[in-house]
Amino acid sequence: MTLDQRISAFVKLGNHLANLSQEGFDSLALQARLENPWFTEENVKRSLTGISRYLEEAKLKQWTSAYSLNPREPKTVALVLAGNIPLVGFHDLLSVLISGHRAQIKLSSKDSRLIPYLIKHLIWLEPEFEKMITIKETKLEGFDAVIATGSDNSARYFEFYFGKYPNIIRKNRTSVVVLTGQETTENIEALGEDIFSYFGLGCRNVSKAFVPEGYDLTKLLSSWDRYKDIIHHHKYCNNYDYQKSILLVNSVPFLDNGFILLQQNERLVSPISVLYYEYYRDQTDLETKLNRDADKIQCMVGNEKPATVPFGSAQYPDVWDYADNVDTLKFLENL
């Protein structure tokens, strides 16, 4: 199968997702939600929309044009997929298949319905993919390379078991916003999308804000009213109640609008329902703070450098936006 054939199949898959019937979507979303209560209809739709946006012919051709992706001896790449947000492992699957290699997949128990649905439809569109994809319910074996995603803790196990193979092993990451005080009301409202989408569970979700000294934090809380219904999700609400109780018991100052808590903290990764913030004096101080955590930051939201991601768009990366800034296609090209 040529690269053009592989691209064509994924373009058709993107069209299918973009035009999925309401009945088809409802059935798929229900399966996902029954398996994982965090996978609401809204979040499944957001994920499918994001995938369909980068499965466009022009984007796929632009993305792959810089690589040599017709291997004479295709390798088998083991994929250990995460399950924090819907279909978070799809980009790795796409990368392996578009590069001409075989994928041996270990699904997350938190997301074992959505990926198989996409695989089944992809094989229907291009039957040649059937011999390139294996889903393993037991031990991974007979592979040549590994791409594994998990927490900092699971990454230690991955490095122990897979360290002798060519590998990409991803750990915990999160995203931040850099505010200057010059943002518009629309910017701050859009920031809510970067914070609240997927309940804050993704590595591209903003979990911390860097703000200039003297910044009025109350205008953040008052700008996110359209996200207030998030508190009606029982798991999110349980986290909110728990985190608020801990702060109250420990007499830690915080700001609260009824569905998110703002806490001053130098740490980077905040719990669900909490947004950390940290003040900076000037640009030099800001760069020092960002460099301190550079290896844990997935992306920076804001209008001015060093931020590179516009407000409201953190959860819609392009196909060439690699997790952890590790070029997956270059890795696969060099196998």
Residues 46-98 have pLDDT tens digits of 999 999 999 999 999 999 999 999 888 999 999 999 999 999 999 999 999 99
**Class of the domain covering 174-301:** alpha beta
Residues 6+ apart with CB under 8 A from 32: 39, 44, 86, 111, 113, 114
| Structure tokens, 63 | 């993305």
Residue 45 has, within 13 A of its CA and on its CB side, a CA count of 11
Yes or no: say if 251 and 191 are a contact pair by the CB < 8 Å rule: no
pLDDT at residue 260 above 90? Answer: yes
Phi, psi angle pair for 168, to nearest 5°:
-125, 115
Determine the pLDDT at residue 79.
Answer: 97
Read off the pLDDT of residues 296-318 as tens digits, 9 standing for 90 and up.
999 999 998 899 999 999 999 99
pLDDT reported for residue 323: 87
Listed by start position, the domains of the chain span 3-172, 174-301
Q: What is the average pLDDT across 166-173?
A: 92
Q: What is the CATH architecture assignment of 3-172?
A: 3-Layer(aba) Sandwich (3.40)
Angstrom distance (rounded) from CA 82 to CA 92: 11
CB atoms within 10 A of CB 293: 15
227 CB-near residues (< 8 Å, 6+ apart): 192, 195, 196, 259
